Amino acid sequence: MSATGLNMTASTWQLPSRGKVGMICLIIAESAIFTIFVAAYVFYIGKSLNGPTPREVLRVPIVGTICLLSSSLTMHWAIARLRQGQMAAFRICWFLTLLLGAIFIGGTTLEWRHLIYQDGFTIQTNLFGTTYYSLVGLHASHVIVGLIGLTIVMILTLLGKVKREHSERCEVFSLYWHFVDAVWVVVFTTVYIVGR
């Protein structure tokens, strides 16, 4: 310990990147927020005093789920391509990620429109409505934030501003996107499997 400490110079001194540490901190804080909403959801399963029940109105969003989970894979490819400087492939993968995320949000929009206008089921209807719209809505709002970020990078890419040296920044952003996907696995399990 002492020998290496005394000989240490600035060039060999390596610390984790502040971007990654900061993003992981954000993810930890967000996880705590989601934990509380999931806890409320689970606690209120079956406690609504009136209908409708989840089984009566919820349809499992299979297409959206497949799209969102696949977008993690395309994101992973995009970052790998960017690191190698293969800009054309990066652009395609990044666009696919954006597209898949948008399809997911489109699916949620249609699902909510059906629930609200066809089934008359809102956040005020019962405890199920309260917890359903808040948990799924909280996740959807995170997807929307992610889509905004994806769009900004997409525009910068098309303008030719994104280069190989930005792979670290894009990677930090990709951590957020993977997190949003991982949260969907929890939300999906809670809402559409356990809660239904």
Partner 1 sequence: MYEWLGTGDHKKIGLMYIVYALLFLVVMGVEAVLMRIQLTHANATFLSPELFNRLFTLHGTTGVFFVAMPILFGFGNYLVPLMIGARDMAYPRLNAFGFWMTAFGGLLLYASFFAGDSVAQAGIAPDVGWFAYAPLTATAFSPGHSTDYWNLSLLLAGVGSISGGANFVATILSMRCPGMTLGRMPLLAWMNLVMGGLVLVTISPLTAAQLMLMGDRYLGAHFFDTQAGGSVVMWMHFFWIFGHPEVYVLIIPCFAFISEIIPVFSRKAIFGYPAMVAATTSIGFVSLGVWAHHMFTVGMPSYGNAFFVLTTMVVAVPTGIKIFNWLATIWGGRIRFRTPMLFALGFLFQFLIGGLTGIMLATAPFDWQLGNSYFVVAHFHYVIVGGILFSIFAAFYYWFPKMTGRMLNETLGKWHFWILLIGFHLTFDSLHIPGLLGMPRRVYTYEAGRGWESWNMIASIGVIFQGVAVLIFVYNMIQSYVKGTPAGNDPWDAWTLEWATTSPPPEYNFATVPTVHSRRPLWDIKHPDDPDSKYE
In this complex, which beta carbon is closest to partner 1, that of residue 102 or of residue 182?
A: 182
The yes or no reply on residue 159 touching partner 1 (CB under 8 A) is: no
The yes or no reply on residue 43 touching partner 1 (CB under 8 A) is: yes
The yes or no reply on residue 53 touching partner 1 (CB under 8 A) is: no
The yes or no reply on residue 9 touching partner 1 (CB under 8 A) is: yes
Which H/E stretch holds residue 15? Answer: none
Pick from 42, 123, 145, 194 the residue near partner 1 by CB under 8 A.
123
In this complex, which beta carbon is closest to partner 1, that of residue 63 or of residue 152?
A: 152
DSSP string across 81-124: HHHTT-HHHHHHHHHHHHHHHHHHHHHHHHHHHIIIIIS---TT
Q: Helix, strand, or coil here: 46?
A: coil
In this complex, which beta carbon is closest to partner 1, that of residue 43 or of residue 163?
A: 43
In this complex, which beta carbon is closest to partner 1, that of residue 132 or of residue 184?
A: 132
Pick from 89, 134, 166, 175 the residue near partner 1 by CB under 8 A.
134
Residue 3 Cβ, how far from partner 1 at the closest point, in Å? Answer: 10
Closest CA to 23 of 151, 170, 150, 152: 170
In whole angstroms, give the CA distance from residue 149 to residue 143. Answer: 10
Closest CA to 82 of 181, 174, 148: 174
In this structure, which amino acid lies at residue 85?
Answer: G
The yes or no reply on residue 59 touching partner 1 (CB under 8 A) is: no
Classify residue 28 by its DSSP letter: H
Residue 194 Cβ, how far from partner 1 at the closest point, in Å? Answer: 18
Q: What angle do CA 140, 150, 104 make, to 5 degrees?
A: 35
Where do contacts with partner 1 occur on this chain (CB under 8 A)?
A: 1-2, 5-6, 8-10, 13, 15-18, 21-22, 25-26, 28-30, 32-37, 40, 43-44, 47-49, 123-124, 126-127, 129-131, 133-134, 138
